[in-house]
Amino acid sequence: MKLSLGFSPCPNDTFIFDAMIHQKVDTEGLTFDVSYQDVETLNQRAFNADLDITKLSYHAYAYLTENYVLLHSGSALGFGVGPLLICNDPSILREGIESLTSRIGNLKVGIPGKNTTANFLLSLAFPEAENKVEMKFSEIEPALLNNRIDLGVIIHENRFTYEDKGLLKVMDLGEYWEKLTSCPIPLGGIMIKRSLPEEVKQKVNRIIQRSVMFAIKNPLSGLDFIRSHAQEMSTDVMYKHIELYVNKYSVDLGDEGRRAVNIFFDEALKKGIIPDIKQNLFL
């Protein structure tokens, strides 16, 4: 049986899925037709139910629970892994957060997609931020440097590069979440179509867990594959990225991870950021 599978070309995803798609672990008779796209593109494809299995922002998942269900393995959750709000104007830092809160409605903020967890956290921390510009995550730093936007929310490997470009951190949105909830921040998860047979869903969950565990035990096994998708990223930055986003929650959400996901949706519902959810979130 062949299933369509979508994940990002970012090192944490290619690290996780390498063993699975290259048959380095037992795939129990399944094969995969793989698409590599940035997370917001995958979010949009999921609204069309294009893929059998897909990486999704947890924010986007809130709107897609009728068609998809969250697998236990493959997720990106953690402490110290959240998106950063950055700027190119030192005066914004000098003014402080209170002043920024009062005038952020007049500032142009670059976000990596409206359905991303990054945008959810921005909305939670700064509900007044309404002048948002959606762009690919890799375009946010150049937009700040060219003064096309006033603030930007960065994700992925940009955490490791923004300071080298002279950009400044305004707030760690993941840290904001951690102080608010004492939970790891749920960034993205692996979802599978609810319409697939239960046996297939359970099989995929097992295969992904095997693939994650193989990668952790053999971290250099997928180096060439990871590098081929990493877009001029140094090996050092690639593995910093992997270390940041691949952890125990990637192997299995566990009780702590599931609690974090539930709190994430509870907070979003309270703020009116997402609609009410009637389906069970977890496989």
Domain of residue 19, CATH code: 3.40.190.10
pLDDT in tens, 250-275: 999 999 999 999 999 998 888 888 88
Q: Tens digits of per-residue pLDDT, 162-207?
A: 999 999 999 999 999 999 999 999 999 999 999 999 999 999 999 9
User: To the nearest whole percent, how much of the chain has pLDDT over 90?
Assistant: 76
In a domain, 277, yes or no: no
Across the chain, what does the average pLDDT equal? 93
Tell me if 244 is assigned to a ligand binding site. Answer: no
Residues 115 and 128 in one domain: yes
Instruction: Provide DSSP, 21-46.
Output: HTTSS--TT-EEEEEE--HHHHHHHH
| H runs (alpha helix) in 138-222 | 140-145, 173-181, 198-217
List the one residue out of 21, 10, 39 whose CA is nearest residue 231.
Answer: 10
Rounded to an integer, the average pLDDT of 58-76 is 96
What's the confidence (pLDDT) of residue 234?
A: 85
CB 30 within 8 A of CB 252: no
Q: Are residues 172 and 103 in the same domain?
A: yes
Last residue of a domain, one of 181, 196, 223: 181
Is 101 assigned to a binding site? Answer: no
- For position 232, what pLDDT does the model report? 67
Are 205 and 250 in the same domain?
A: yes
The pair of three-digit structure tokens given for residue 52, joined into one six-digit string? 């059998």
Count of domains forming the chain = 2
Which of 118, 149, 181 is the last residue before a domain boundary?
181
117 labelled binding-site residue: yes
Instruction: Please check if 167 is assigned to a binding site.
Output: no
The parent domain of residue 166 ranges over 84-181
Same domain, 105 and 230: no
Q: Which residues are catalytic?
A: 156
Residues 220 and 253 both lie in one domain:
yes
> 6 is written with which tokens?
């979508």
Residue 276: inside a domain, yes or no? no
**Which of 153, 181, 209 is a domain's end point?**
181
Residues 94, 70 share a domain? no
Same domain, 159 and 101: yes
Query: Could you tell me the two tokens for 37?
Result: 């796209």
Is there a single domain that holds both residue 13 and residue 65?
A: yes
Examine the domain organization and report whether 190 and 247 are in the same domain.
yes
